[in-house]
Chain A
């Protein structure tokens, strides 16, 4: 990796992402790891790895985002995920519109305006239903690998209704369905439906705008995308690296600030 100018780090609740961007804003290098409880150390190590890969030493400045953003000591600025996701996706897809970001514990709906500015947003609160954690929990309960969740749900011919949107109560429902002989794939389809219905309610609450875009770890799940399209009647656009958009946006915000390594503390 050469010519890296800024690093963005997204210390999320489930995964920690770090990216480096070049002068032209192109993605130069990245890392994704499961979030470590000691965010500070993990962030410092990831940043160090990217810096040494770029041969930039401590001179490559950092912008942090995500829940652990204030713990990233090496960052010169910290900015919320809302602004960073908007900026990252805008750059990746080149269009304003509405972004749905489904992360580990947060689902965000962001209205992106000209230049990638976040104009309005809504986040889930007090409840992790409708987030990646909901699927993760359920997958574990059904002994299905995360990457198989979407394809198996889409391949299902039947669908079991999951009425609980609560992650914990849904687990009891799953146990009951399995005990009654329901097919795992049909349960998976029902779980996705439950998650997407929560997300779509947020989309309509903010007011659907097009084009509709999807990012976050759950964007890698094909059923989530397909069902979001089905529920909204809109084509859903995905960036190439949906999980990196927060970190990418953070690096872009740094790059756009114009501050270089020398004045990063300013």
Chain B
């Protein structure tokens, strides 16, 4: 540990930063509580807990600014087996989450252009372009990202990450560990599990070497237990959308999912979601819905359109449409039952083999059909995400199946999760409005 870095970390993050963010959170909470929406506002006031989420995420990125020289830093994919790294006290950066924040704060386009100017094709995922553009230019709305000491990439979400992380490895000149997850066309076989398990076990000596210390089995078990508790809590929150009117929207899920992605298993994350669940349950007790006049309940498939979350929630809310659940936010909770602290390594292998993006398109359709029944849905919006090919693959058939077999009106919305140049308000509104009209006619 570098004493100068440690001093800056203690002063900038531990003492001043945390206190400021805590004050900021109190101020945000007061502001949300004081909100009195206009009579024609289609949405009820946002969840007060959102202020805590903002504090947690800001704190995380603030710590990142001071992390180099104090904590070992790993950049990891969203589906990476991070338990080993957490057990070794790595500070984790999720470039996908960073890119999503850039998208939501409307910084993604400029960073994508940086990457495009360096020769990266506009057909590459906008998360990858955003992060590569950020790495090349050093620009980020988060102030500064810590330089990685290790890169961990798991191919259970897409193949783009493999090439993206190779670019990062070359750029930062740091080791890259790849966990290859075979695609599941059906149930995971023992040899597939063994294959992933061997790779996760292989990560231990690599991570230990970078961290300069050994991992203990007890700590790994503890980390798995904490991760499971958070994922279970997140799933419980998502399931509260079964209530009518639903106390939450999928947009609330998108906004509040940062901690379950970046800070999964942290005690503060568990405390935050416990508090959020309490607030949601109070809404249920009082019969308060997330939107004021919930007439239709729909599903969202795929990643959000980060730069249009507010606009879409208002546009749909004004027509009485509540997007109550999404396959994407659900993905961060649905694997909780597979997590087993008694056998952290093998259960890790099972969990990281099974993200929605590593399962067949038929499997996703089954999940969607179950959601239609479970959440009493009237329709489905399938975001055909130009950037996320694996998630969008099969959506035409999935849409047709929902519309024809289940007679659930469903619409494909062509957009991109982070690159606003792919989105056209007029075209999107026309499709969504026509979709709503077909739901009303059904």
Contacts and interface: CB of A to CB of B under 8 A. Distances in A.
Interface in B385-442: 396, 400, 403-404, 409, 411-412, 414, 422, 424, 426-427, 430-431, 433-434, 437-438, 441-442
A120 B412 CA distance: 11
B430 A119 contact: no
Q: Could you tell me the dominant secondary structure of chain A's interface residues?
A: mixed
Interface of B: 396, 400, 403-404, 409, 411-412, 414, 422, 424, 426-427, 430-431, 433-434, 437-438, 441-442
B434 A118 contact: yes
A29 interface: no
Given A67-B430, A123-B431, A83 B441 contact: yes
B426 A82 contact: no
A176 interface: no
Contact of A82 (B400, B422, B438): B438
Nearest to A79: B437
A254 to B, nearest CB: 15
30 contacts: A67-B430, A79-B437, A80-B430, A80-B433, A80-B434, A81-B430, A81-B434, A82-B438, A83-B434, A83-B437, A83-B438, A117-B438, A117-B442, A118-B434, A118-B438, A118-B441, A119-B409, A119-B441, A119-B442, A120-B404, A121-B434, A122-B412, A125-B427, A125-B431, A126-B414, A126-B422, A126-B424, A205-B400, A207-B400, A207-B404
A8 to B, nearest CB: 15
Q: Could you tell me the dominant secondary structure of chain B's interface residues?
A: helix
Interface residues of A, number: 19
Contacts of B438: 82-83, 117-121
A153 B426 CA distance: 34
Nearest to A119: B438
Given A118-B438, A119-B438, 11 more contacts: A80-B437, A81-B430, A117-B442, A118-B441, A119-B409, A119-B441, A120-B409, A121-B438, A123-B430, A126-B414, A205-B400
Nearest to A207: B404
A126 to B, nearest CB: 6
Interface string A20-32: 0000000000000
Contacts of A117: 438, 441-442
Nearest to A118: B438
Contacts of A79: 433, 437
